[in-house]
Amino acid sequence: MHLSRFVEALRADLAAVADVGDEATAEAAAKLSLALSGAIGLRLLDALTEASVELSAQLSSGHVEVRLVGQDPELVYVQEEANLPSAPGDDAFTARITLRLPESLKEKVEAAANREGVSTNTWIVRAISRTSSSGRRTENRLTGFARS
């Protein structure tokens, strides 16, 4: 997905609005849009990242990742391996923690657990197991935001 076309479209929109004013207004708008180009790209990347998190929460298995190819992001569906660890019975737990979640996140976790037909605790254990398993991540993999 090429973000540059969206950034250029926003710059063109700003230039069209600035054309209503005088030449100084148009020049100021051009300088402003050029200065904001990088920030606009990052905000679009933020929106894609948030969308991938929301989509992943709605999937019963697998998740959506945002990967950067050069400066362009791509959305990628990653299928989870079929041999997900099952949550052990309550008597097998050796540690107990208290987890405080924002109400909106708690509702999303409960909804995801209900969709999969498991308890909230089992869903959380599986989610943590999936993200902490050594087979999923490689040493060459980077996560986060980049700017060039």
User: What is the full per-residue pLDDT of the chain (148 aa) written as tens digits?
Assistant: 787 888 888 888 888 888 888 889 888 888 888 888 888 888 888 888 888 888 888 888 888 888 888 878 888 888 876 555 555 555 566 777 888 888 888 888 888 888 888 888 888 888 888 877 655 444 455 566 665 5
Residue 1 to residue 7: CA distance in whole angstroms: 12
Residue 129 to residue 16: CA distance in whole angstroms: 51
pTM: 0.48
Contacts of 84 (CB under 8 A, 6+ apart): 61, 126, 129, 130
Position 10 scores a pLDDT of 87
Position 69 scores a pLDDT of 81
How far are the Cα atoms of 79, 124, 136, 137, 143 from residue 140, in angstroms, in the given order?
A: 20, 27, 12, 8, 10
Position 137 scores a pLDDT of 46
Position 138 scores a pLDDT of 47
